[in-house]
Structure 1
Amino acid sequence: MTFSINKPTLAINKIDLLSKKQEQQNEQLSSGFKINSAKDDAAGLQISNRLSAEIAGLNRLSVNAQDQVNLNNVTDAQLSSITNTLLRVNELSIQSGNPLYSNSAIQIEFEQLTEEINLVAGHALGDSKFISGLDSSNPVATQNLITEALEAVASNSTDIGAQSNTLNSQISTYEVASINSRSSRSRILDTDYATAVSEQKNNNLLLQASLIIQKEDEDRKGLLVNKLV
């Protein structure tokens, strides 16, 4: 009769599997992720990576849109500044019809305000020659120019406001989509600590039982060898 003393037993094989499972569980608990490599869940990791790319793309779109909203806010503030200056010009044009005021002094301020308006308009509207021809001696013509300029500024301000509203709506959509994608990724990737701890306890009990069985098996082999000697 032939005996195979060194042949691995079922207990040893089970210990190996349980030990690997224990290592995996320890990694999941320490990292916070139930998928740390493709060997844990190749399909899940692939989906998680796709969701991560999707989240990054949505966040980038949201940042780009917010940057444009911020630029629009700056432009809108500049347009408000132009409007206020135009209203000052309009006030001066009315004063120019009053003999108590000096038209020459008003004309000097016209020129200063024209320069100020065109400087801001160069940034806000891309037009550094937005307004010209203000004449303190011709208040009617000056007021017509001011009215046209105010209408142009108001039109641009309305367009910017509409664009910002659209962008803010898009930002909300991107953020909701990003939250949903992060939630989906979390369900796939993140460790459920309550479940993981429970599974770890069960695995440890099985591992301890298997080690006991292995020890008993080795003891029996030792007795068998002693009898054969």
Structure 2
Amino acid sequence: GNNGKSIEKLSSGLRINRAGDDAAGLAISEKMRGQIRGLNQASRNSQDAISLIQTGEGALNETHSILQRMRELAVQSANDTNVTVDRSNLQKEVAELQSEINRIASQTQFNTKNLLTGSAKSMVFQIGANKDQVIKLTIGAMDTSTLKVKSINIGSGVKAASISGMIKTIDEAINTVSAERAKLGANQNRLEHTIANLDNSAENLQAAESRIRDVDMAKEMMNFTKTNILTQAAQAMLAQANQAP
């Protein structure tokens, strides 16, 4: 009876324990629960996307440093105070730096996904609870061929005049890396705002779902007490009636 339902509601903390309690309310509540779980997962997806971006950006920070050092060596080599052996030694370091740029490009991964080989094209991040709520991100290849610094040679037999052209090439490579890092930074900022919005939406929806599904403890306790009193009164009257001559 009513008393049993009150006990069930009070013990579960829920106003709706089965469809019969409130069919429409249950349907709305379940839809909201789906959205809440979707929003929470989208927030986790966005966090993962930020981690991926930070991995790529951290690697490009290193590539930037290497290009800056390469530029410094080119500027040094462009000076005709250098003799053949000096330029040869400078080129040895440049060759090592070129290898390191390629190593970073080929080995920078997130969850086994290559980020800087040019294969990270149109990556899709699901950042909402529903279909088509996505952002796409492409990270370009960042090896010496793509950056056009593969053929940089400041060694012996290279004239100072041709080195100035190489400095310009290195500057263009630095600009390419800067543009890629700026794009990654902008996407990270966007995702951080997305996470704040998703978490806020999930919190508000959780509160709304709670209002539909959760029991009003004070009100239900009052109903339970009232039903109890009426039941006890009825039983007392019945006992008196049975005792009457």
**Same fold by TM-score, threshold 0.5 exceeded?**
yes
The superposition leaves residues 89-125 of structure 1 with CA deviations (integer Å, 9 ceiling, x where unpaired) of 1122222235278222211111111111122234443
Between 194-203 and 27-36, report the one with greater CA deviation: 194-203
TM-score by length of 1: 0.79
Q: CA deviation at 1:217?
A: 4.6
Q: Which residue of structure 2 lines up, in the alignment, with residue 180 of structure 1?
A: 204
Between 127-136 and 185-194, report the one with greater CA deviation: 127-136
Cα contact 1:133–1:142 (8 A) shared by 2: no
Residue of structure 1 aligned with 2:100, choices 116, 120, 131: 116
Q: Which residue of structure 2 lines up, in the alignment, with residue 36 of structure 1?
A: 17
Unmatched tracts of structure 1, length 5 or more: 1-19, 224-229
Q: Which residue of structure 2 lines up, in the alignment, with residue 104 of structure 1?
A: 88
Secondary structure, aligned partner of 1:125: coil
1:125 aligns with 2:116: yes
- For 1:162 and 1:117, the matched residues in 2 are separated by 24
1:91 aligns with 2:91: no
Letter in 1 for 2:105: A
Alignment RMSD: 2.1
1:82 aligns with 2:75: no
1:160 aligns with 2:144: no
Q: CA deviation at 1:216?
A: 3.7
Residue of structure 2 aligned with 1:134, choices 152, 157, 162: 152
Letter in 1 for 2:100: E
Q: Which has the higher strand share?
A: 2
- For 2:238 and 2:212, the matched residues in 1 are separated by 36
- For 2:89 and 2:231, the matched residues in 1 are separated by 98
Q: CA deviation at 1:84?
A: 0.9
Q: CA deviation at 1:218?
A: 4.7
- For 1:212 and 1:60, the matched residues in 2 are separated by 57
Secondary structure, aligned partner of 2:64: helix
Q: CA deviation at 1:219?
A: 4.8
- For 1:49 and 1:105, the matched residues in 2 are separated by 71
Secondary structure, aligned partner of 1:102: helix
Give the alignment of 1:52-63 within 5 angstroms: 52-63=33-44
Larger radius of gyration: 1
Q: CA deviation at 1:206?
A: 1.6
- For 1:106 and 1:213, the matched residues in 2 are separated by 108
Q: Percent identity?
A: 30
The superposition leaves residues 45-77 of structure 1 with CA deviations (integer Å, 9 ceiling, x where unpaired) of 111101101112222222222221221111111
Q: CA deviation at 1:87?
A: 1.0
Q: CA deviation at 1:153?
A: 0.5
TM-score by length of 2: 0.74
Unmatched tracts of structure 2, length 5 or more: 109-114, 118-140
Q: After TM superposition, which residue ranges in structure 1, 4 or more long, deviate above 4 angstroms?
A: 217-220
Residue of structure 2 aligned with 1:189, choices 196, 213, 221: 213
Give the alignment of 1:4-23 within 5 angstroms: 20-23=1-4
- For 1:214 and 1:99, the matched residues in 2 are separated by 117
